[in-house]
Structure 1
Amino acid sequence: MHSLRGQLIRGLLIVVTPLWLLTSTLMVLHARRQVYELYDGQQQIFAQQLYSTLPSLVQRQGGPQLRDDNVPHQAIALWTPQGRTLLTDSEGVLLEFHNTGTGFHTVTTGKGEEWRVYYLIGPEGSVAVAQELEERWETIVGLMVTQSLLWLLLLPFALGAVWWAVRRGLRPLAALRDTLQQRQPDDPTPLSRYVPSELLPLIDSMNGLIDRVAGTLQRERQFTASAAHELRSPLAALRVQAELLTLLDEPAARNAAAGKVMQGVDRASHLVDQLLALSRLEQQQDLPRQPLDWAQLAAQACQQVADYSSVRGSHLRHQVSGSPLPAGQALLLSLLLRNLLDNAVRYSPPGAEVLLEVTPQLIRVSDNGPGIAAEYLDQVGQRFFRPPGQSQSGSGLGLSIVRRIAELHGLTLAWHNRAEGGLSVELRPD
């Protein structure tokens, strides 16, 4: 990639060069018009002065008079009304008598020279004043060379001024680079918006990125710390049970300790699975979507929780009367419904009623259990949080997973205690 400074200077040169050529062409045309007007006017004045001498020249007798003080590249000739030459110079002998009207004519001599001739014709006779066109072009070229030399002298200063202006204009980018190099990865402080207006979209986008990166790093730290804390308990319990296995001699006691070891392994495995699922969901930003069959999704979710609900003696029901979301990721939505149903069965008393409702307006999972104490309602859904007094095992990540899947699908998660008893968890489209 080329440097932005070099690209700007090249762009300026690409634009300025055609403009300079066009301006030069217009200057040449303007100089030509001015030179022609100047010399044409001089020819007309000189012709009128010569015409005033015709009466005195006609009265003289003799042949034509030849001037010996002729000016290079200029010629004159005077004739009587009948065409007899009265006065001429060495160049004027090339001019022919002309009595068809006053005006300018371009004449080419036998030598290939072009002359601009002004004929002034009247009752006293005719006058011709001529000038070689090469003389005019020499004047035009001289004017253009003078202008070009001036531009060439100014060109280094102009290029230096352009370089300085481009460098000064790019100074905010250099300042932004220095600021970014000194920042810490987890610094959430937004960049200053006191920049040129062209940089504001970039600054706003970078501020959004900085906020997301800082938030992600903070969540990862919290996630790592909480995961380490949660894993410490089952691992410590496993160590204690493993030590008991080495000390116990009775088969019944050894079998009980082995059972507790298996329970600890299951709990740790479930926690790891939840952590991996949440980690993958946190990294996802966009999802491939396909049409959804909510009746099938609800039936599958209930079927996946059926074994555990039968052990608990709970009654699962589902009602589907519409589609709250026409398209989405079926696998993730199935995980969402399964987590909601598993939580409802797990934290309700045995024999509880759990209902899954799917309508065009919402997705709702409700139970008739004890609900959640009012002081803990705002904390539910936070990672690893479990209300005190729970007898059931769990990781406290189920609703965090549900919330992230809902966010990816444009759904809003909310919950509240039911007036008739139990908890209701609802998902509504934004």
Structure 2
Amino acid sequence: MAEAILVPQVGQDLTEATVVELHVKLGDTVKKGDLVAVVESEKASFEVEAFAEGVVINMPYKEGDVAEVLAPLMHLGQPGESLEGAAVSATQSSEAQAPVSAEQTTIAPAASAITAQAEAQGSTDGWRRSSPVARREAAARGLDLASIKGSGPGGAVVQKDVAAAIMASATAHRQGGGALAVRTLREGQGSPIICIHGFGADLSSWRGMVGTLPVGLPVMALDLPGHGASAHVGASSFAEIVACVGESLRDVAAGIHLVGHSLGAAVAAALTERGDLDVRSLTLLSPAGLGAKVDGDFIEGFLSAQSETALATWMRRLVHDPEKLAPVLVRATLAARDTPGLVAAQRRVAAAVFERSTQLFSLGRALDRFLGPCTVIVGRKDVILCMDEVAESVPANAALHRLPAVGHLPQVEAAELVQSLITRTVRAAG
């Protein structure tokens, strides 16, 4: 029997969601718990996990499409099975299992309804069709929707079209100085929390903790040069990375709270010295730049791995307890490498900030001078950085938390504690 993974209901009053990311393709084998997609509403982003297992036999949507909630996002079946004539059951990928009839699993994709609506309206009303997410991100970046070619249903501008426009703008700037991919993960009021990922990751790594960060504040994240949607933005030094991030954040808000991991933590600290950003607080997870040493073998092994088995072997070094490294994280990292030039771009970033096992930058002076609330969180079992060097380099004005039985990913191995410390740091800023 084919299983339908449904588009989750992402809000009581919302009837549609944008398919932001697809982590599987037709013919892929999916296991229970695998991350298969990310959908986005006007208010938040949601990861869609498989609550069944099988082979992907049908995918009515592509990235950027606007989907009806509770419509099939994809179908899982047996190898060689087709959807036509197959009995279908519905699996809702959210905690609340809503009753769905067999008739409901055959809902036509939202694209048909939107196209019909667009045809009925005609093109004389002067209104450019766009998704709520696309409108919000275009407004945040100062982009005119009329200048963006839409690839969605009925020619609508969707999130990936805005992202492409941002990328085109970035590549038009000088190398290392263009705009980066910045995305709103949660709407809110007040000074936003800006999350900056570490080397080899991307902004999607923060999605799991969005809902637990201080309620009411917006949460945003960006892709560093050479990573994610910013893969084509180059940087030849740590200073250029910082400059690129700073330029991309300068007009985001009057005040910001920075949360960074590893390389992203070093960038966050360095941003406080620019003078044109109002940084209210810093939370630094396993920060690079405090000490000279880095595991150069890990950097090379991580970049060279081409199979899931090899990549998992190196990524286990990021955690003290291998069981804390979810297989879906490894598969998502490997799938991201399908982006042309991504690994080569990350090699260039690595060459800019590391020389074998030596870090080529330091954030010690920046931390010494920062007067706002600052929290540094490290794992005592971190083998990527030298924790003795890090601990000795944290200035007296920063709060240092050394977590037992935790490696380089405290946000994974001690998630609740880390989220509590982030909340405390943000609130201390007033």
Largest Rg, 1 or 2: 1
TM over 0.5: no
The TM-score with structure 2 as length reference comes to 0.21
Q: Per chain length, whose mean CA-contact separation is higher, i.e. which structure has more relative contact order (CA < 8 Å, sep 6+)?
A: 2
The TM-score with structure 1 as length reference comes to 0.21
Higher helix share: 1
